[in-house]
Chain A
Amino acid sequence: MSEFIDLLISVGIASAMIRLMTPLLLAGVGELFVQKSGVLNLGVEGIMLFGAFFAFIGTFFTGNVGYGLALAIVVGVAINLLFAFLTVSMAVDQVVTGLAINIAAIGTTSYLYRATFPYATAIPAKTETIIEVEPIPFLSSIPYIGPALFSHTVFTYAALLLVPVAAFMISRTSWGLRVKAIGEDPHVADLLGLNVVRTRYFILIMEGVLAALAGSMLSISQYNMFLDNMTQGRGYIVVALIILGRWSPINFLAGSLFFAYIDALQLRIQAAGITIIPYQFALMLPYLASFAALALVGRRVKGPASLAKPYKKVK
């Protein structure tokens, strides 16, 4: 029995949960602002995958995670600029464009991986360095809480800080209110003198940076390698968590905690070698949980009024 409780609650699982939550938060905060401005970018999955790949490539060939992250960000921003051009400037369907980017990301990264490592055998190429964990002095030595909460990479701390900052920006700053106005009714916002196109471009560029970083967490922080379709639908899960959280950063944080806990739990079930549960069911757990959450909480959700609707300025 105590083993069972140990499986469910421990410092290890809490630490893993925070670690696994980091990419969700980074990508989620970006996507939250994007959706607040009335744009649905499903392509966040694809940008994460591109981010994971290019962070790995950059780090692998230079031995420096800084270059890896920089490369990932450049590619992430480029992809979102393409998305912005198609959907914001040219009013192409946002759902279709997002899906297209995701399919393109799977194809492009798996090709480029094989082109870069043509003789890769069963053992995948690994980077020699990863983003280092930087325990916060003093705080990290608090028993239990220290190792769980204060022994992570700087990106985890940044991601955790980003959530209250985002909540503040959305509800307490005039910029946040303008973004909301644009997401509710871009035509009216335009009449009021707000620049819909410029705001959406700006937010999408920021999302490009954040989602690329989120992907990098997978390849050069949680692992030290790249795997085909490494994101495994995490970008979609981020979008689902935003919807389930009714576009509130705090609710989104709660949803991410839940998902990351399930994800950490399934890793522990596998690692603990519990044979009663086949490992496939452990792997399935996060998706079952998301599915159930959508079925129970995702009913008749009303988002920003103009979400995913193409907007064309009337001349």
Chain B
Amino acid sequence: MHAKGKTRLSLRQKLLLLRLGTAFIAIVAALLIASILIVSAGANPLSAFYHMYVGSIGSFPALVETLVRATPIMLVSQGLAVAFRARLWNIGAEGQLLIGGTVAGALGLYLHALPQPLAVPLILLASGLGGAVWIVIPALLRAYYEVNEIFTTLMSYYIALYFVSFLLSGPLRDPVGLFPETTTLPKEMMLPIIIKETRFHAGILIPLMIFGPLLYMVIGRSTVGVKLSMVGCNPTAAQYAGVDLKRVTVFSLLFSGFLAGLAGGVEVLGIQSKMRLDISPGYGFTGIVVALLGYMDPIGVMVASMIMGGLINGSTTMHRLDRVPVGMAFMIQAMVVIFVMVGYLLYDRFSRKVVGRVE
């Protein structure tokens, strides 16, 4: 297009710019629609967006809260990015997250004999495994019998939802509490706070420092990433090329379940200090949007998670200060996802042109 022959960007860089551009368009378009809704709700969009800025990145505490909010979303979407790359659609991440949270809430009460540096990682590992266990059957059914994972993972979400609801109102219920929730965990079982006077807990570093770099290396710089993409593009061809289809399928689905479970564990040990059914306002579903918005790219999903975290917190501030109805975050999310589809469309169109020119 306009950059004809002038710049010497590599193909990779051009495609990256294109992705950033289309993702940017998706978010701006969503915010434009949101401003129409803000006006129709009788509020001033300029003031509302100013408060969205204030509530998301306008101050240091707000920024920390955005990170707090982004953490579970980031973990979920990092896992989903891996599965989605192989075109394996785990849409039950919300259920795996609830299971992970429940494991953390229950185990935290029993492991307090162990020292904190040992207990906390153990509990988190267990909540990740809990999430992975919840997707074992869908993963095996998909790998060995070609049972469509979209439906089995969705069914397993509802099963998890009611199962956890049962556990919280029965066996795991805090005997002296008023609500269906587990007993509050002792402070020693919680993830340590890193920045004093804020909620910046050690769990925030898990997606940023562990899984972010890990995915960057594995997806971008190893054969595993290539295998995932091959399975996603053409499973038959991948098989002929020597990719173990079953292994890739089971591994990537279990990985996405593990990270969703971990997200639940981190949320309980980092923020909530107990398991309750409303620890997640749909992080598992937001994670799907974010994985798509970030083009299943390791850096892309991290950036997209933080944007989504900011939008959720910002719209809470908007609700408080501008009388914008609660739930604007849901709406913005809905608009983002629709415009992401349009973004895919644009990306598809222009990437053909970009690639075509190089050839």
A residues contacting B by CB (< 8 A) are: 42, 82, 86, 90-93, 95-97, 99-101, 103-108, 110-115, 118, 232-233, 236-237, 239-240, 243, 278, 280-281, 283-284, 287-288, 290-291, 294-295, 298-301
Contact = CB atoms under 8 A, between A and B. Distances in A.
12 contacts: A82-B338, A97-B341, A106-B285, A107-B327, A107-B334, A108-B334, A111-B327, A115-B325, A280-B163, A280-B169, A291-B156, A298-B141
Q: Which 5 A-B pairs have the closest CB atoms?
A: A107-B334, A107-B330, A111-B331, A280-B166, A104-B334
Kindly name the residue among B165, B337, B341 whose own CB sees the greatest number of chain A CB atoms within 10 A.
B341
Given A97-B341, A295-B141, A299-B147, A92 B348 contact: yes
A290 B155 contact: yes
Given A90-B345, A92-B345, A111-B330, 4 more contacts: A108-B334, A233-B154, A233-B157, A233-B158
Contacts of A301: 146, 148
Contacts of A101: 338
A104 B147 contact: no
B331 A95 contact: no
B333 A110 contact: no
Contact of B345 (A86, A105, A113, A281): A86
A97 B344 CA distance: 10
B137 interface: yes
Nearest to A303: B148
A103 B337 contact: yes
A298 B87 CA distance: 19
Given A118-B325, A281-B162, A288-B159, A299 B145 contact: yes
A284 B338 contact: no
A100 B148 contact: no
Given A95-B89, A299-B146, A239 B327 contact: no
A100 B292 CA distance: 9
A114 B148 CA distance: 35
Contact of A110 (B152, B330, B348): B330
Contacts of B155: 233, 236, 287-288, 290-291, 294
Contacts of B156: 287, 291
A42 B334 CA distance: 16
B170 interface: yes
A312 to B, nearest CB: 11
B158 A298 contact: no
Nearest to B323: A118
Interface of B: 37, 41, 87, 89, 91, 137, 141, 145-148, 150-152, 154-159, 162-163, 165-166, 169-170, 282, 285, 288-289, 292, 325-328, 330-335, 337-338, 340-342, 344-345, 348
B285 to A, nearest CB: 6
Given A99-B89, A106-B285, A233-B155, A115 B41 contact: yes
Kindly name the residue among B155, B332, B338 whose own CB sees the greatest number of chain A CB atoms within 10 A.
B155
Nearest to B331: A111
B158 to A, nearest CB: 4
A110 B325 CA distance: 11
A96 B344 contact: yes
A287 B165 CA distance: 15
Given A86-B341, A299-B145, A106 B330 contact: yes
B331 A107 contact: yes
B147 A283 contact: no
B137 to A, nearest CB: 7
A90 B344 CA distance: 10
Nearest to A289: B155
Contacts of B335: 104
Nearest to B344: A92
A93 B288 CA distance: 15
A280 B147 contact: no
Given A92-B344, A103-B337, A295-B147, A111 B325 contact: yes
B158 A103 contact: no
A245 B165 CA distance: 32
B151 A239 contact: yes
Nearest to A116: B325
B10 to A, nearest CB: 26
Nearest to A232: B158
Contacts of B340: 100
Contacts of A118: 325
B296 to A, nearest CB: 11
Contacts of A105: 334
